Chains A and B, each alone.
Chain A
Amino acid sequence: MNNVNFLKPNKENLNLYLVLGALFFTLGIVDFCLNNFYKTNITGFLPGYISFFTPLIFGLIGLHLIRIEFSGIKILDELNKNINTNNFNAALSVSIIILIIFGVAPLLNWFILDATFVGDSKEACTGGGACWVYIKTWFNRFMYGMYPNAEQWRVNATFIIVLGLMAAGYFFPLRYKKYLTFYYVIFLPIISFLLIYYLISGGEFGLEWVETGAWGGLSLTFIVSFFSLIFCFPIGMMLALGRRSDLAVVKYSSLSFIEFWRGVPLITVLFMSAVMFPMFLPDGTYVDKLIRVIVAITLFEAAYTAEVIRGGLQALPRGQYDAAKSLGMGYWRLHLLVILPQALKLVIPGIANTFLALVKDTPLIFVVGLLELVGMLNLAKTNPKWLGFSMEGYVFAGIIFWIICYSMSKYSQKLELKFKTDR
């Protein structure tokens, strides 16, 4: 046997180093787990601070011992390359592993192991974990707000039809592709509006009328985001074109419009729509709260969309404009056929970010008294029969929003790749 140098592990005594390293590493992790979850300290004989840091030290020694270059074992080389390049990196890796164990174990307990899934009242929740019964009981309220239970099929039906119509554009035959923009920008909004007006709101065709104040929950989040999304895009586009216009009046009015909405927080805009806007209307006229909110959010987000689109317009080389003009195109043909299709392609990530921000901003409509998902949570939380479950509610809503936003951002990345053209 060659002499063994623990400060410089080498390939010759590979197995010895591996066994020792794994042993030390496991010892560190076990020590940490015992300390934290079983309240026993196997290194208690050491003085205070050293005992506290033993998991880290053991883990570090373990990683140091297995740091052997070109060992010939694929997994080991891969491991060393990725998390164990030097002592500093090893220390960071060990700390992260310890942190993950520290965080994940209690979370897992709370989420699943100690949680209660069955039952129909608060009394069923006896474990220390989450009380998912609460979510189950309130699920309808979280989804549909105060919408009457018997009528909820109307909301579902509307969403299914709208989703179907949205997906239908995807399957358009190639021949009709040129009408796609028209379909999405004009046809779909009108149909959706009519559907929501007649089916969700009701009042005609023998359907019971449900006032907008009763709408709520996640379905309201969708309604508000859907309409704001659809309307803010064309308005933003017009504003972006206006801001780059040669006509002084058009340019400066677009500019001040954009700068105004971008300069104020959404919450004050909603305040404005709630308390200040009625003062600006003739006495006796009443605009529904929901419509006011949608208009406010639309104008607000349109300003942001405009800035994003302007970025794309600016990024196009002058040659595109000159070439289109030399073909004899006028202002509108030039923009609609040449400039905008290219510019919009460039700003897909920016637009997606704006849309994401819009979805994340919808909970703010609590300011005017409309309760979407987060608002319903806050309402349910104050119900005397169900006190003390705010954590479950927020976690539930967080997961739902996360899924929506994350899938939207992934989708936008896919779109970006799909439309990427080399210039």
Chain B
Amino acid sequence: MKFKKILPQFLTLLFIVLIFGFFTMNAQENMDTRGIQFGFGFLKQEASFDIQFSLIDYDGSRSYARAYLVGLLNTLLVSVIGIILSTILGVIIGVARLSPNYLINKTASFYVEFFRNVPLLLQIFFWYFAALRALPMPEDAPLIFGSSYMTIKGLYTIAPVWNNFDVFFGALIIAMIIIFFFNKFAKRKQEEEGKQYPKFLISLGIFIIIPALTFIVGGVDLSWSFPELKQLAKTSFTFEGGLGIPPELIALTLALTLYTATFIAENVRAGIQGIGKGQKEAAASIGLTPSQVLKLVVMPQALRIIIPPTTNQYLNLTKNSSLAAAIAYPDLVLVFAGTAMMQTGRAIEIVGITMATYLTISLSISAFMNWYNKRIAIQEK
């Protein structure tokens, strides 16, 4: 009996050790013949390549570690924008699919069936190489909303120019802390005395008033910088000032959002459909208004169904953002696993770091989700 338990385990272990041993030995040998030393010292070397789009200060004289950071931030940027937009779109489409209105219902399901069944990479290529290339050159671009230009070189729009931004930012954080404690207080009051505060309105008030106060007392000042057309050469124009969003980012965000939103929409639909009719009827029969039914009975239960698969979709979106490499948006894969690896030739270290980064993001989010799931799971008796 014991033997039967030990043998498979032993064989598995042996198999793993053999494979890893074989790979390590070969890697060692290969690196020796090519004269490469395994190590991460190269991260401190000068990167000497440029990155088109960066959120932090960067130029060719900075180190590879800095280039890695630029790539990581670009990945996170497109992921965060994509997550926010696809959630909004997904919820709208998901609710629309449950609409009794035939036209809305069918349009929403057409959207879902269409965008879900076309490869994401193809969608990215479509937006980048076909759709966005049809936009006008900077000198011909019309003015949109009195502030922005949509051109073949990207979207140029207004940018905020802050004075004393840190004071404003601090006020925002303070406001959030106050709201957090206020909500706790309001909840306790309701549980103890049954007294209800208009929580949402007061929270919103705090969130607006405290940061707004800093404009009066904190010396915070906000103005807008507008993009202006500038002639570089006889036929070459560009925009200066304002905020320039490169077409790669636009194409990538569009494709990721439209693609992921279809999956989120399906999750939302499944979640709302998963709540039994009895729940709604029971809630209505104890005298809750329709909005209370939605807020207190349907949504808390639906969210329990919706959130886990939706987090999975967020993770997928983050991982899919690595397709950016195909259209030269400088994300982690392109900057680090692409350019940096070509220059240093350190395949093992660089692919290892890249994978470890994605792995860390994924595992930490799924660990958080497991914790959250345990917290909200129904306590069955």
Contacts and interface: CB of A to CB of B under 8 A. Distances in A.
Contacts of A259: 363
Interface string B91-108: 000000000111110010
B213 interface: no
B194 to A, nearest CB: 35
Contact of A374 (B100, B116, B122): B122
Nearest to A97: B103
Nearest to B322: A265
B311 interface: no
B26 A253 contact: no
A361 B121 CA distance: 8
Interface residues of B, number: 58
A247 B8 contact: yes
B12 A276 contact: no
A93 B101 contact: yes
A247 B130 contact: no
Interface in B119-139: 119-123, 125-126, 129-131, 133-134
Nearest to B338: A271
Interface stretch (A36-44, A179-187, A195-203, A395-403): A395-403
Interface string A218-260: 0000000000000000000000000000111110010000011
A361 B322 CA distance: 13
A135 interface: no
A381 interface: yes
B362 interface: yes
B133 A279 contact: no
Contacts of A363: 119, 121-122
A165 interface: no
B84 interface: no
Interface string A77-91: 000001101000100
A363 B126 CA distance: 13
Contacts of A100: 107
A279 B347 contact: yes
A123 interface: no
Interface of A is mostly: helix
Nearest to B9: A249
21 contacts: A82-B102, A92-B103, A247-B9, A249-B12, A250-B9, A253-B16, A264-B355, A264-B362, A265-B319, A265-B320, A267-B333, A268-B358, A279-B347, A280-B30, A361-B119, A364-B121, A364-B323, A378-B129, A390-B133, A398-B118, A405-B118
A291 interface: no
Contacts of B85: none
Contacts of A246: 5
Contacts of B131: 391
A381 B114 CA distance: 24
B12 A360 contact: no
A203 to B, nearest CB: 28
A401 B117 contact: yes
A367 B323 CA distance: 10
